[in-house]
Each structure stands twice: as structure tokens, then as C-alpha cells.
Copies of this chain bind each other. A is one copy, B any other.
Amino acid sequence: MVATEQPLLQPFPAKSSAVESALSSGNGSHNPEAFRQALNKVLYGRSFYIPSFDIHRGVSGLFDYGPPGFNVKSNILKLWREHFVREEKMLEIECTCVTPEVVLKASGHVDKFTDVMVKDVTTGAPYRADHLVKDYCNEKLEKDVTISAEKAAELKDLLVVLENLSIEDLGMKIKEYGITAPDTKNPLSDPYPFNLMFKTSIGPSGQHTGYMRPETAQGIFCNFNELYRYNGKKLPFAAVQVGQAFRNEISPRQGPLRVREFTLAEIEHFVHPENKSHPKFSRVAKLEFLMFPREEQVSGQSAKKLCLGEAVAKGTVNNETLGYFIGRVYLFLTRLGIDKDRLRFRQHLANEMAHYAVDCWDAEIETSYGWIECVGIADRAAYDLLAHSEKTGVALVAEEKYAQPKEVEKLVITPVTKELGPAFKGNQKNVVEALEAMNEEEAMKMKATLESKGEVEFYVCTLEKNVTIKKNMVSISKEKKKVYQGSFTPSVIEPSFGIGRIVYCLCEHCFSTMPSKAGDEQLNVFRFPPLVAPKMCMVFPLVKNQKNQKNQQFEEKTRVISEELTSCRIDHDIDIKGISIGKRYVKSDELGVPFAITVDSETSVTIRERDSKDQVRVSLKEAASVLTSMAEEKMTWQDVWVSFPHHSSHSSPAADE
């Protein structure tokens, strides 16, 4: 992605009925702010996120992942690698974050990766110009009952195009509306571009400017020749990279959605520009999901359910490979637990796309902040490889054998040595080399002069002087030749995943709250699918009372189960806090752990499922293997439920606690 495409909150915040009901089922209120408050209480209270370097007061826009947040993120990446990298045998590589300036000059980031900034003329406080205009419009529309229908329409239109306004237009709007600095009401400076890259200096001399990469893609483009060779010179192939990227945001807002450092997972799929069919497209062609083509956006309609195969057939989606990735992204996100009714694929408007891009679709997920771009899927044509090729002089091309030989005209320069020898003697070699080195334009000009005048003055740079070339000394012609192979610059289709945004959106979609049975407190649950949850299970030894002999036995059994789970590679935790099992379930649900094993006897345990709250009784020996079967997706909870005796919590020793 380059500057024109950088992710922004999309100006389509109209709440669908799906999000409304999710919000209301979530916390009994239609208020996204209240929903977010309840969510944040858990996200920060249970250390999913920690503001970075908080004890030092840190800086805004930097967040750490605490233990459960890290685990969710890490599980998402594990599934990502399975779903994309292993499935398609993609080549995964790892490039450095520190990037020399010349690379980002070539890619366009040094010149164009900017946001528009204004400053408070008195205090110097910086603001993003588009944010101020956006806030002004929203506030007017929400709070000013006096504005005319005409004015309201103008502001709404402005919100839609805001992202693509020029610096000059942004400046005019700020003047026209009399927008001032929000904190001081002071006047604002004229807007100017601010480069979003973190700048540094490489090496001790201070001569090599470097930047922290704003995306991972450029490292892949620079390595194209190595990767193409590694792949046995076969196309198409894809290379991927997962890693940190950095954007020095002017004024980060929206918590973990807009941060200064984040994890990207980018796929660069290299394909022949004249053949973008995909052998596995048929596997996704029947999928139906919410798509939001350009036309629907421009004509004020909303996203609608389309069949992917038809969208490609009709040309709504430019080609099969782009369509294949859109389908695979849909399958990936819904497998994680993203609600398919709050996921749409929005096509970029013509003026949103870079001039070289063929087609581009964003996977957007609806949250309490509105629709958030989480994945961009773009056909970028040959732009990136050509840009690096131009700057370096290194060809970044693939080779092909033609099915039919092609006829091409080729320049042929034949120096006639028997004439050149006597004329130039010891200098003959220099003259011959200079003649052969002429490009087409120079050669054809010489040919014309020789034909009209019989001779020509010719500068031989290795001799540092002009010599006279006569007509009989060189033959210049263009000949038709059959060519059986050639080279071309591959097109790049790029699905680019903002992993941190996906983590946050997933947390929103999986979160819900409900009152406790007694009605005295609010219970929080993350309904993460088992593969994504921070842990697969918790293990609780029943604690009778401090002096009870059985406590030790239960703890001993707990240790045995835990070691078995570890050897089966099942992530789990033990909670031996002497509070009731019921309270431990509440804590475990709040973390989103799908299963809990309670050790309440010397021979058997109960296994409880988070969402149904159902429990089965399983022998001590079988406990770890039941969990392993579910972790490896060989068994579902439904299978377990029909295979083992049910256990009612009311009859359980746990209920005594």
C-alpha cells in the first residue's frame, strides 16, 4: 500500500441492524459507547492490552499485548499461516524493519506517505487536518438543529469525499468553516504534508538516512529475483511476510485501532499480467457474502449479498486471482469468529485507487467505531517491481517460452573489419566496440547520414576523440527474427492484513455481557472459537478448606493432568485460588477460555463448556486426550456431549463451595 491507500475509518458509519442487535444483546443498551466501556473494562482490566510503558506515562498510540491478548493474536497468526501460507505453499521470508532511504524513495514513501497536518499558531500543537474537518461536520450534523437541509447535505457529501481532498481544499474548508484548534480555540496554520515514517540514521557517520518500514511489502519486492529463482523460475507464486510496521501518526485516536506500531501480514502474489485465472477459484466461486461494489457506493445504496463466482464473471471483481483471495479472506475471517453479517468487501472508488492499480477491495468489519478496514486486497499490476527496477537498473522480470514464436524486428550492426583494420590500426578494437554499443536511435541516424553523405563523424569515448566512419566500414540494418522466449514484469496481487485491527474487531464480535443469576453483577464472556482463545482450558482443583487432606490429593491430580496437557501441547492454566469453582468459571469465561476441567474426585473430573455451560464427567485418565481431540478438531463439544455422562452443576461437589 502507498499513501493514497492508507487505512482510515471509512465514512460509512451508518449502523446496520446487525450491529444494533449485537450491541443490544451485548449489554442491554443500544449505545456503542456503553458497549465499548464494558468491553474496555475487560480488555484493560484482564491485561489483553496494556498502554506501552504506562508507568513512565508512555506516549499515545503505542499498546502492548498482555498475556491473553498476545495469545489471541498468536493463534490468529497461526491460523493465518495454515490458511494461506501452508495451503498455497507460499514462500515466507523475513526482512528488516530498518530500511535505507533509497528503497523508500523508489517505492514513493519518502515523497508521498503523508498526512495533512495543521498547527495551533500559538501553542504549536499539531492536529490532523481531516480529523478537524470531520469532527466539525459530525458535530454540526448531530448538535446544530438550526442548519438548513442544504447545509446538512453539503456536510454529509464532504464527509464522503474527505479522505481524497487535496491539501488546498482542506485548507479552504478550514477557513470557510472557521475551524480553530479544539483545545485552545486559537487559529490554525495553513495545512501541510507530514511524512508518517519514523526517521533514523544508520551507522555511526550520520550519512545514511533510514526509516522504520511503513509496510513489509517493499522487502519482498526487492527480493523478487531471489524468490523467483528459489521457486525454480515458476510463476505464479506468492511470497509473504509477517512483521512490525511503523507509522508516526499525527494524533492517534481509537485505542488499538490506530497505533504507531503494528503487525502486518502481507502476501505478494506474482502472476502473469495476461493470465490471472486461478486453478482453485472454483472452490470459492459459490460463496455468497456482503459485497459493496463501487457503483452501489456512488449511487447511495448499501452493501448486498453477492455470489463471488458471479461477481468475477460479470467483471465486478476484475479477475479470478483477486476473486480467489477475496473468497479465502472471507473464509479466514469467519473461521476466526468474525460475524459474517458485520463483514463486507468494499471496492475502492476510482479516485481512491492509485493510478496504476487495477482493482482493490477492502475487507471491512463493523464495530462500535463504525466500519474498519482490516484487509486490503489489491491488484497493483507491475507498479512495484517497475519502481524498484527503474531506481536500481536491475531487471525484476520473469521469463516465458512463447507457445507460438513471435516475430520481432532486431537491430543488427556489423562492423566490416577488413575496412576498419587498415583505417584505424591499433584503435580498431575501440572503434568496433563503440559502433556495436550504439542504441537503435543512434544507429539509424548514422545509417541515414552514411546513405546521404557517404561518411560521418563518430565520437569514440574510449579514444576521447572523433573518427570518420565511411559507408563501407559498417553495415546497419533491421532484421526480422523469430523469438521463442522473452521476459515480462509480473503483476502483483496483494492481500495485506492489519493483524492488530483483526484482533480488536474479533474481541468486539466475541464479547457479550449478561447479568448474573442473582442479578447483582454483570458477567462478561468472550465467545472466542477454541482455536483462537487465549487458552484451550483451565484446570481447577476443588478446594474444600484449608486443612482438608483431599486438597493435596486434588492438587496432585491437577498437576498430573497439567503435565499430560503440556505433553499434548495444549495451552492451559491452573487456578488454585481458594474461591468457589463458580467464581473461577466466571473469571475463566471473562478471559474467553472455552473449557474448564474441575478436579473434584480422585478418579474423575468434570469438563465444562463455556457457552452452553454444559458439563460432562470424564475419567481422570481420559481428560487430557478429550481436550487434545477437540484442540486437533477431531472431536467437537457436541461429540463429547453425546459420548460422556452429563454432569449437573447442582449435584456437583463444586456447587457446595
Q: Which residues of A contact B (CB under 8 A)?
A: 46-47, 50, 52-60, 62-67, 70-71, 73-74, 82, 86-87, 89, 91-100, 102-103, 106, 117, 124-126, 194, 198-205, 208, 210, 212, 219, 222-223, 225-227, 229-230, 232, 239, 243-244, 246, 248, 250-251, 260-261, 388, 391-392, 394, 396, 566, 569, 571, 573-575, 577
Contacts and interface: CB of A to CB of B under 8 A. Distances in A.
A213 to B, nearest CB: 11
Contact of A212 (B86, B204, B212, B391): B212
B126 A202 contact: no
A67 B220 CA distance: 11
Nearest to A202: B59
A573 B88 CA distance: 10
Contacts of A391: 56
A97 B202 contact: no
A223 B66 contact: yes
A204 B126 contact: yes
A98 B569 contact: no
Given A87-B566, A93-B66, A226-B50, A577 B232 contact: yes
Given A91-B67, A93-B70, A204-B194, A98 B260 contact: yes
A100 B230 contact: no
A71 B244 CA distance: 18
A499 to B, nearest CB: 11
A100 B204 contact: no
A222 B98 contact: no
Contacts of A199: 200-201
Contacts of A246: 97-98
A103 B56 CA distance: 7
A244 B244 CA distance: 9
A593 to B, nearest CB: 14
Contacts of A260: 96, 98, 202
B571 A62 contact: no
A38 B57 CA distance: 52
Given A205-B126, A227-B67, A100 B222 contact: no
A565 B166 CA distance: 52
A628 to B, nearest CB: 11
B117 A93 contact: no
A261 B388 contact: no
- Chain A: interface secondary structure? mixed
Contacts of A229: 47
Contacts of A251: 204
A47 B644 CA distance: 52
Contact of A89 (B50, B96, B394, B573): B573
A463 B237 CA distance: 77
Contacts of A96: 52, 62-64, 260-261
Given A205-B126, A569-B86, A577-B232, A64 B223 contact: yes
A203 B86 contact: no
A92 B70 contact: yes
Nearest to A572: B89
Contacts of A577: 232
| In the complex, the 4 A-B pairs of residues with the closest C-beta atoms, listed nearest first | A126-B204, A67-B91, A65-B94, A64-B95
Contacts of A98: 62, 198, 212, 246, 260-261
Given A227-B67, A246-B98, A260-B98, A222 B124 contact: no
Given A93-B70, A232-B577, A261-B97, A103 B50 contact: no
A222 B86 contact: no
A482 to B, nearest CB: 22
Contact of A198 (B55, B102, B200): B200
Given A226-B66, A227-B67, A203 B55 contact: no
A56 B86 contact: no
20 contacts: A47-B230, A52-B222, A53-B99, A53-B102, A53-B219, A54-B223, A55-B222, A55-B225, A59-B100, A59-B210, A64-B219, A66-B226, A86-B569, A89-B573, A96-B260, A96-B261, A97-B97, A126-B204, A201-B248, A212-B212
A509 B350 CA distance: 55
A571 B454 CA distance: 69
A77 B573 CA distance: 21
A230 B42 CA distance: 12
A591 to B, nearest CB: 10
Contacts of A46: 230
Nearest to A73: B94
A226 B392 CA distance: 49
A568 to B, nearest CB: 10
Given A67-B227, A391-B56, A244 B97 contact: yes
A348 to B, nearest CB: 27
Nearest to A88: B566
A224 to B, nearest CB: 9
A446 B82 CA distance: 72
A109 to B, nearest CB: 13
B569 A82 contact: yes
Contacts of A82: 569
A124 B67 contact: no
A226 B261 CA distance: 21
A222 B66 CA distance: 12
Given A52-B95, A98-B261, A194-B204, 16 more contacts: A46-B230, A53-B99, A53-B102, A57-B102, A59-B203, A59-B208, A66-B93, A66-B223, A67-B239, A70-B93, A70-B94, A89-B573, A89-B574, A97-B261, A201-B248, A232-B577
Nearest to A91: B67
A103 B571 contact: no
